[in-house]
Structure 1
Amino acid sequence: MRYSDVMADWLKDMGFTHCFFVAGGNIMHMVASASKRFTCIPVVHEVAAGIATEYFNESSRTERAFALVTAGPGLTNIVTAIGGAWLESRELLVIGGQVKTEDLSRNTLRQKGIQEIAGVDIVRPITRHAILLDDVADRQTFSRYVQDGAEGRKGPVFIEIPLDVQGREVDPGNLSGPESTTTEAALPCLDESVLQGIVEEIRAAKRPMLLLGGGVHRSITETLYDGLADMGVPITTTWNGADRLGFDHPMYFGRPNTWGQRYSNLLLQQSDLIVALGTRLGLQQTGFNWKQFAPKGRVVQVDCDAAELTKGHPRVDIALLADANTVLKSLSNYELGDHSDWGEYCRVVREKLPIVDQRNTTREGYICPYVFVQQLSRMSGANDVVIPCSSGGAFTVMMQAFDQKRGQVIITDKGLASMGYGLSGAIGVAFAHPDRRVILVEGDGGFAQNLQELGTVAINKLNMKIFIFEDGGYASIRMTQRNYFGGHYVGCDRLTGLGLPNWDALFAAYGIPCLRIGPGFEENGDFSNLFNSFGVAAFLVAIDPEQTYFPKITSRVTDAGSMESNPLHRMTPDLDEELYETVGRYL
């Protein structure tokens, strides 16, 4: 058999069902082999193949996808997607072509073979494993490489295969053997005494809070859904854990973050015990002013990566290397004490600090983005998959204002925070969930960075509803230039030279119905028909270019003249003193 056929069979045996790819000469054998065994989806640009693969794997419980790219530009084009998956700790297998082994420069020249570039060297720092297969590998070796990215703290794997190795005739019997199973030691189980110690910490606390991150699986919170309410401990989530609970869960109290919900930030900062499960507690989660994270409480962190537990920020009082899912399941079996007074206080704070801040300004004829997002969340269904892009004003508004429903899947890629992720990610989940409606919300500036993938959406007739915040450019950059540089705008909109398309003409070119919407859109019958019918549709949301985006964390100049970010509980604009005394009672 041809070696590319053998590798494809191995991948199929490992549960791979889909392949996102851009064909090329140096990957031609793998393309031919994959096309006979997998659902192969051609995309226009390699970065879309990587992002779609990441989102497919993150959303699917039963199927797996990989990306297939050619040598040279195929690899360099997908590096952004590899970087994003690395920062988010997500599975992403990238199989790349390479020139024939006899044409490899092996770092003695800048280039020998046509389109040759040292792909492994480029991506090694942002992968769990990067390898050049300049000779055939047996089944166990190959499967070990592949599985390395799907276990422990997940991450990308890059396997580069020269053209002649792909096409080599091999005897499968000589390469057979058992698949590699686990490539690393299982995470340690907590001793009963350690677990009991956490339980006693929660029982003794007056204001405990659980913070669930992306490391807590959706299947776990779904299984424990009612039990989490019975635990009686208020729960918040990170942005990567946004879909672990519905917004109406009795113990759910929002998404604290640098761009988080004000009430949630205040509650987290007033907790006297934060039990952080499956979150690395990065700067976006703790605030740039991480020294003032949890100023009134102790922090327990459970994570699968020892480096995250010992990095030194924020302060962690109890650091435990363990599987957060196992710990959460164990905690649900204990009586954790009566914290009903604290829970009632959390409800009071939430009631007094609505998500939509009335101090935002929206000019006539435009729709307030926060109002739009809340209305969209009410109209969405429990079976929807929601992609709130990954950067910019549209992203932060979605993560602040969207009220998620139980059963919805929400995926973003906030670590790299790259513009242009939304459409490609939505394509990935649309193939993972062909029976579900995919809702994508993205800014016009970000959408323009990968708009070529509208062709992929249209030709595959995906069930996708695309909402574009049409404000004429980069809203977050414009806001920064307004706030810090006195409104000296540079390269942030059409008036300063940013070329954006005529959206109506663009969608028409792909045969995608497009509707402009503004205030009162929910009463528009045309909107309702497009939104609720199967298939792709685009909606241009009229957003004020001068829209304000509050609340947010701002910085101030210290007495020493340096810049210091406010802590999470001090969002801008300030609350009036009487209200702050009510909602910040324990600060």
Structure 2
Amino acid sequence: MTGGQALVAQLIVEGAKDIFAIPGIQLDWAVEAIRQRSNELRLIVPRHEQATSYMADGYARTTGREAVCMVVPGPGMLNALSGIATAYACNAPVLFIVGQIPSNTIGAGHGMLHEIPDQSGVLKAMTKWHGIAKSPADIPGLVHEAFVQLRSGTPRPVALEVPPDVLQATGPVSLLPRAERVRQAPAADAIARAAHALAGARNPVICAGGGAVASGASDAIRALAERLQAPVVMSEAGRGLIDDRHPLALIGLGGRAVLPHADVVLVAGSRFLDGTAQPTDKRDGVTYIYLNTNPAHMGAPRAEGIALEGDVQAGAEALLAAIGAGEAPSAADRVARVKQWCAQQIDAIRPQHDYVQALRSTMADDDILVSELTQVGYYSNIAFPVYGPHRFVTPGYQGTLGYGFNTALGAAHGNPDRRVVSLNGDGGFSWGMQELATLARDQLNASIVVFVDGKFGNVQRIQRRVFGAEFGTDVASPDFELLGRAYGLPTTITDSPDGLRDALRAAKERGGPALIAVKVGEMPSPWALIHPFVPSPVPVPPNPLGDPA
């Protein structure tokens, strides 16, 4: 086999079905190998390298499967790194294949095409694992190890570099069997201590994050919560872990009501830190239990607690088995009061509330919403009802403005039978609008919503509050109707929640792609409901559970 054929063959063994890539001279022999087996591995070519990694991220986080993207070295790699950084922040299992300059020139500084200093060092800093192939015989083992890393421990991107001479070279190759998923269970003695604390708790609370979703721990966490009658407070990254309609499900805002009353807190797959790097909750007399694959997410500045290093699903199942059968007093009434307390505050943020209601009313339970850094997107992160895992996507702590549209395209490719709705502001959308060509070419089942106000709205709000003036916040947006027509896309222009609802319904009935531009004005800030360290502009209703004893 050539090195390119070995690469494609092992990818297929590992279960890869799609690869997001842009061809280039250093990848010619890899692309030719994909062509030879294109009935087994689909090549999806966007219009910019940044879209390859964003699409892979969206694909991975909404399917629960590994995703693969590939770019040329140097500028191609650099263009794609924002998507890799987002995938890293959000626990997305993405294999990032990067070309190289010829093997005998690496590190020599000869100025080869696309050469940059220490490309390997850049990739090592941005991924969980890195490898570089030196011969065709190396490639199957490296691809296999990449998938071993993707399917064990903390899911994060991995990188593989393959120089063009290695892709072109021919040699004996041995393929390896598919890498299996490995779930590390926490130590038995730690499980016993944690189970004893939870079984004896009067007011247990579970705080779940994106690591729980990435682990596939929905059923295990729900069963554990029901056995303990523990409210499940889901972070933005953890939303959808259990159905928002479940009587024990709460958004992050609800944690402000239940955590002051908790005597035992199980933190499952969450960093458990706020945006100022302070613990979400840290009180004397409380037993904290940290269940995480990453030991760095169980120590200071968090309160000391019981550390359960291991997979969230495996850990939750072990805790449930150790606690055993029984029936705790129902917490449904208390949680219902907290849900109402949250709704009272959330529903007052308008018009964002009305736009989110329009979104939810037109989407099936398992449709996918990709949020963005835009006013309705910020609000959606706490207020859009999510009914299951892998159905709601944010950029996590990376806060990658402009990620959303490209990410939604990857979600649509991975889930052709589910409708994908992409939220955008006109500022961030402009960073990837060339991918309208990809949307139109592939006729994806996606509605692209762009809220148009001609501003970087959040920056404008901060500047006004801090400096009493605004500067550099204007956005020159295109005529979206003409833009949609240029790509042959069904396009709607509206200016109200009712108009958005009608446009989304029509798009869903029609199927395929749609572009919807919504003209909006300034909107009130939802930040006090998102981050506890942001002062509320209005009086906060008293805790529905009363003051803690």
TM-score (norm 2): 0.90
Residue 115 (str. 1) matches residue 118 (str. 2): no
Q: Report the alpha carbon displacement of residue 276 of structure 1 after superposing the two structures with TM.
A: 0.8
Give the distance between the partners of 2:404 and 2:23, measured in 1 at CA. 23
Residue 77 (str. 1) matches residue 79 (str. 2): yes
The one-letter code of the counterpart of 2:459 is I
The equivalent of 2:279 in structure 1 is: 290
From the superposition, tell whether residues 253 and 571 of structure 1 become closer, same or farther in structure 2 (CA, over 3 Å).
farther
| Native 8 Å contact 1:70 1:97 kept in 2 | yes
The one-letter code of the counterpart of 2:197 is E
The equivalent of 1:127 in structure 2 is: 127
What does residue range 92-491 of structure 1 map to in structure 2 within 5 Å? Answer: 92-102=94-104, 104-106=105-107, 108-109=108-109, 111-117=110-116, 118-138=118-138, 139-171=140-172, 175-176=173-174, 178-179=176-177, 181=179, 187-191=184-188, 193-217=189-213, 219-222=216-219, 228-254=225-251, 256=252, 261=253, 263-284=254-275, 288-290=277-279, 293=282, 297-310=286-299, 312-333=300-321, 334-335=324-325, 338-340=328-330, 342-354=331-343, 357=346, 360=349, 368-389=351-372, 391-406=373-388, 409-486=391-468, 488-491=469-472
The one-letter code of the counterpart of 2:71 is V
| Native 8 Å contact 1:140 1:179 kept in 2 | no
Residue 542 (str. 1) matches residue 519 (str. 2): yes
Q: Report the alpha carbon displacement of residue 403 of structure 1 after superposing the two structures with TM.
A: 0.8
Q: Report the alpha carbon displacement of residue 393 of structure 1 after superposing the two structures with TM.
A: 2.7
Q: Report the alpha carbon displacement of residue 345 of structure 1 after superposing the two structures with TM.
A: 2.5
From the superposition, tell whether residues 212 and 290 of structure 1 become closer, same or farther in structure 2 (CA, over 3 Å).
closer
Deviation per residue, 1:310-368 (Å, 9 max, x gap): 3x12213222212211222234443466343x5422322322342554664x6xxxxx0
From the superposition, tell whether residues 198 and 572 of structure 1 become closer, same or farther in structure 2 (CA, over 3 Å).
same
- Report the 3-state secondary structure (helix = DSSP H, G, I; strand = E; otherwise coil) of the residue aligned with 2:30: helix
| Native 8 Å contact 1:27 1:97 kept in 2 | yes
| Native 8 Å contact 1:271 1:296 kept in 2 | no
Structure 1 gap ranges (5+) = 363-367, 555-565
Among candidates 85, 88, 92, match of residue 86 of structure 1 = 88
- Report the 3-state secondary structure (helix = DSSP H, G, I; strand = E; otherwise coil) of the residue aligned with 1:205: coil
| Native 8 Å contact 2:3 2:166 kept in 1 | yes
The equivalent of 1:551 in structure 2 is: 528
Q: Report the alpha carbon displacement of residue 520 of structure 1 after superposing the two structures with TM.
A: 5.0
Q: Report the alpha carbon displacement of residue 129 of structure 1 after superposing the two structures with TM.
A: 2.1
Give the distance between the partners of 1:492 and 1:524, measured in 2 at CA. 29
Among candidates 48, 52, 59, match of residue 55 of structure 2 = 52
- Report the 3-state secondary structure (helix = DSSP H, G, I; strand = E; otherwise coil) of the residue aligned with 2:427: helix
Task: Tell me the number of residue pairs that the alignment of Structure 1 and Structure 2 aligns.
Answer: 541
Give the distance between the partners of 1:222 and 1:343, measured in 2 at CA. 18
From the superposition, tell whether residues 69 and 201 of structure 1 become closer, same or farther in structure 2 (CA, over 3 Å).
same
Q: Report the alpha carbon displacement of residue 434 of structure 1 after superposing the two structures with TM.
A: 0.8
Give the distance between the partners of 1:406 and 1:415, measured in 2 at CA. 21
Deviation per residue, 1:17-44 (Å, 9 max, x gap): 1010111111111111123321110011
From the superposition, tell whether residues 7 and 244 of structure 1 become closer, same or farther in structure 2 (CA, over 3 Å).
same
Deviation per residue, 1:221-246 (Å, 9 max, x gap): 24775674454211121222211222
Structure 2 gap ranges (5+) = none
Q: Report the alpha carbon displacement of residue 83 of structure 1 after superposing the two structures with TM.
A: 1.6
The one-letter code of the counterpart of 2:247 is P
Q: Report the alpha carbon displacement of residue 277 of structure 1 after superposing the two structures with TM.
A: 1.0
Give the distance between the partners of 2:2 and 2:388, measured in 1 at CA. 47
Among candidates 40, 44, 53, match of residue 41 of structure 1 = 44
The equivalent of 1:563 in structure 2 is: none
Q: Report the alpha carbon displacement of residue 288 of structure 1 after superposing the two structures with TM.
A: 4.4
| Native 8 Å contact 1:94 1:158 kept in 2 | yes
From the superposition, tell whether residues 414 and 526 of structure 1 become closer, same or farther in structure 2 (CA, over 3 Å).
closer
| Native 8 Å contact 1:22 1:68 kept in 2 | yes
Deviation per residue, 1:545-565 (Å, 9 max, x gap): 2543353467xxxxxxxxxxx
Give the distance between the partners of 1:515 and 1:265, measured in 2 at CA. 40
From the superposition, tell whether residues 277 and 445 of structure 1 become closer, same or farther in structure 2 (CA, over 3 Å).
same
- Report the 3-state secondary structure (helix = DSSP H, G, I; strand = E; otherwise coil) of the residue aligned with 1:449: coil
The one-letter code of the counterpart of 2:236 is W
Q: Report the alpha carbon displacement of residue 140 of structure 1 after superposing the two structures with TM.
A: 2.8
Q: Report the alpha carbon displacement of residue 572 of structure 1 after superposing the two structures with TM.
A: 0.9
The equivalent of 1:492 in structure 2 is: 473
From the superposition, tell whether residues 581 and 219 of structure 1 become closer, same or farther in structure 2 (CA, over 3 Å).
closer
The one-letter code of the counterpart of 1:297 is V
Give the distance between the partners of 2:365 and 2:135, measured in 1 at CA. 49
Deviation per residue, 1:62-91 (Å, 9 max, x gap): x54311111221111111122222222321
The one-letter code of the counterpart of 1:384 is D
| Native 8 Å contact 1:270 1:296 kept in 2 | no
Q: Report the alpha carbon displacement of residue 524 of structure 1 after superposing the two structures with TM.
A: 6.6
| Native 8 Å contact 2:3 2:135 kept in 1 | no
- Report the 3-state secondary structure (helix = DSSP H, G, I; strand = E; otherwise coil) of the residue aligned with 1:198: helix
Give the distance between the partners of 1:523 and 1:467, measured in 2 at CA. 9
Q: Which moved more, 1:435-444 or 1:452-461?
A: 435-444
From the superposition, tell whether residues 343 and 293 of structure 1 become closer, same or farther in structure 2 (CA, over 3 Å).
farther
Q: Report the alpha carbon displacement of residue 528 of structure 1 after superposing the two structures with TM.
A: 2.6
Give the distance between the partners of 1:523 and 1:161, measured in 2 at CA. 46
Give the distance between the partners of 1:89 and 1:382, measured in 2 at CA. 24
Give the distance between the partners of 1:352 and 1:123, measured in 2 at CA. 46
Q: Which moved more, 1:115-124 or 1:415-424?
A: 115-124
The one-letter code of the counterpart of 2:171 is V
Q: Report the alpha carbon displacement of residue 272 of structure 1 after superposing the two structures with TM.
A: 2.5
The one-letter code of the counterpart of 1:176 is S
- Report the 3-state secondary structure (helix = DSSP H, G, I; strand = E; otherwise coil) of the residue aligned with 2:31: helix
Give the distance between the partners of 1:68 and 1:582, measured in 2 at CA. 51
From the superposition, tell whether residues 204 and 327 of structure 1 become closer, same or farther in structure 2 (CA, over 3 Å).
same
From the superposition, tell whether residues 373 and 546 of structure 1 become closer, same or farther in structure 2 (CA, over 3 Å).
closer
From the superposition, tell whether residues 353 and 2 of structure 1 become closer, same or farther in structure 2 (CA, over 3 Å).
closer
TM-score (norm 1): 0.85
Give the distance between the partners of 2:63 and 2:280, measured in 1 at CA. 37
Deviation per residue, 1:252-298 (Å, 9 max, x gap): 122x1xxxx3x3433234423211111122334xx644386457733
Deviation per residue, 1:464-487 (Å, 9 max, x gap): 01122222222221121122222x
From the superposition, tell whether residues 524 and 429 of structure 1 become closer, same or farther in structure 2 (CA, over 3 Å).
closer
Residue 575 (str. 1) matches residue 510 (str. 2): no
Give the distance between the partners of 2:508 and 2:135, measured in 1 at CA. 52
| Native 8 Å contact 2:131 2:142 kept in 1 | no
| Native 8 Å contact 1:386 1:408 kept in 2 | no
| Native 8 Å contact 1:454 1:510 kept in 2 | yes
- Report the 3-state secondary structure (helix = DSSP H, G, I; strand = E; otherwise coil) of the residue aligned with 1:195: helix
